[in-house]
């Protein structure tokens, strides 16, 4: 089981729904999301509440690398 699946198993139903909706917005190209490029890399982060979605683009396709709950180590080792 990958880390994203483990996270979905740990969080509650309300957070699962919110996170799923955020991922769908990201993949559909919504413009009102809090996205920033991470310094010194080709990765981006999407911030939504206490969740951080780390992703990158491959030929105009969004690849989600990780989804983490915000803490001091969220952006390390990506």
Q: Which helix (H) or strand (E) holds 67?
A: strand 61-69
Domain boundaries, the chain: 3-69
What integer pLDDT is reported at residue 77 of this predicted model? 64
pLDDT per position as a tens digit, 10-66: 888 999 999 999 999 999 988 899 999 999 999 999 999 889 999 999 998 999 999
Q: How far apart are CA 54 and CA 46, in angstroms?
A: 7
Q: Which residues contact 66 (CB under 8 A, 6 or more apart)?
A: 3, 4, 53, 54, 78
Q: How many CA atoms lie within 13 A of 33 on its CB side?
A: 23
Does domain 3-69 match CATH 3.20.20.80?
Answer: no
Name which residue leads in pLDDT, 9 or 1. 9
What integer pLDDT is reported at residue 47 of this predicted model? 92
What integer pLDDT is reported at residue 40 of this predicted model? 92
């Amino acid at each position: 089981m990958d880390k994203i699946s483990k996270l979905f198993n740990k969080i509650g139903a309300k957070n699962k729904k919110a996170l799923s909706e955020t991922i769908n917005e990201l993949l559909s190209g919504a413009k009102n999301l809090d996205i920033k490029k991470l310094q010194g890399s080709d990765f981006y982060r999407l911030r939504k509440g206490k969740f951080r979605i780390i992703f990158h683009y491959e030929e105009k396709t969004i690849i989600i690398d990780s989804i983490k709950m915000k803490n001091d180590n969220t952006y390390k080792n990506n």
